[in-house]
């Protein structure tokens, strides 16, 4: 595309001036053009702002690894299913009343964050924490080191 004399792209004046490309001065076409321009800007801005996601995992607070341990894997799956049920129950409670698209988007984001907190809290009650996967091994080692060691009762008989 080539730039026009104003330094912008050729469609720039069309979007701002509300003249339809068909030559008619139709308000509906103007609204649609502005809407398309706003959507395009939002898509461009969000694609620039997206950071690569780090995979998060649940680990046990006692420092035991779930990997390779069938009993702990089974217990984790049970705990996860219970917590997913708690999140579903929390999601059913309440209604969402919106006053426009932006309001709905904000409320949905807040509700999603609240449900995440419910899920993480439930897993924490069952002895799990949520950590970035690259930190998993070092966090497990730190949790194992922090566990109290059983005291060996060295009792001496005094004769």
What string of pLDDT tens digits covers the 159 residues of the chain? 444 454 444 444 444 455 555 555 566 676 777 777 777 767 766 665 656 788 999 999 999 999 889 999 999 999 999 999 998 888 776 666 777 777 777 777 777 777 888 889 999 999 999 999 999 999 999 999 988 877 665 555 555
What is the structure's pLDDT at 135?
A: 93
In a domain, 153, yes or no: no
Instruction: Note whether 109 and 64 are same-domain residues.
Output: yes
Instruction: Note whether 80 and 122 are same-domain residues.
Output: yes
Which tokens go with 98?
Answer: 């919106």
Helices vs strands, H then E, count in the chain: 5, 2
What is the structure's pLDDT at 140?
A: 92
Cα separation, 54 vs 67, whole angstroms? 20
* Structural domain span for residue 26: 12-49
In a domain, 158, yes or no: no
Which tokens go with 148?
Answer: 């109290």
Cα separation, 71 vs 84, whole angstroms? 20
Instruction: Note whether 34 and 83 are same-domain residues.
Output: no
Cα separation, 59 vs 158, whole angstroms? 47
Instruction: Note whether 67 and 44 are same-domain residues.
Output: no
- Planar angle of CA 32, 36, 39, nearest 5 degrees: 140
What is the structure's pLDDT at 141?
A: 92
Instruction: Note whether 132 and 63 are same-domain residues.
Output: yes
- Angstrom CA distances, 119 to 1, 78, 114, 125, 130, stand at 49, 14, 9, 10, 10
- Planar angle of CA 128, 131, 135, nearest 5 degrees: 125
Helices 70-92 and 101-125: crossing angle in degrees, nearest 10, is: 140
Which tokens go with 47?
Answer: 């694609």
Cα separation, 150 vs 144, whole angstroms? 13
Instruction: Note whether 35 and 67 are same-domain residues.
Output: no
What is the structure's pLDDT at 139?
A: 93
In a domain, 1, yes or no: no
Please tell me the pTM assigned to this model.
0.55
Which tokens go with 118?
Answer: 């419910």
Count of the separate structural domains present in the chain: 2
Instruction: Note whether 70 and 21 are same-domain residues.
Output: no
Instruction: Note whether 72 and 92 are same-domain residues.
Output: yes
What is the structure's pLDDT at 71?
A: 95
């Amino acid at each position: 595309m080539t730039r026009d004399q104003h330094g912008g792209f050729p469609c720039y004046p069309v979007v701002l001036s509300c003249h339809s490309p068909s030559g008619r001065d139709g308000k509906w076409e103007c609204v649609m053009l502005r809407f398309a321009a706003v959507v395009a800007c939002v898509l461009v801005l969000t694609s620039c702002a997206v950071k690569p996601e780090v995979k998060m995992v649940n680990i046990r607070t006692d420092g035991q690894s779930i990997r390779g341990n069938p009993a702990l894997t089974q217990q984790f799956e049970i705990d996860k299913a219970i917590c997913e049920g708690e999140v579903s129950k929390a999601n059913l409670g309440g209604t969402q009343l919106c006053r426009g698209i932006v309001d709905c988007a904000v409320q949905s984001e807040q509700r999603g964050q609240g449900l995440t907190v419910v899920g993480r809290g439930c897993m924490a009650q069952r002895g799990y924490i949520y950590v970035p996967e690259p930190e998993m091994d070092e966090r497990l080692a730190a949790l194992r080191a922090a566990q109290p060691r059983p005291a060996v009762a060295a009792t001496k008989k005094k004769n």
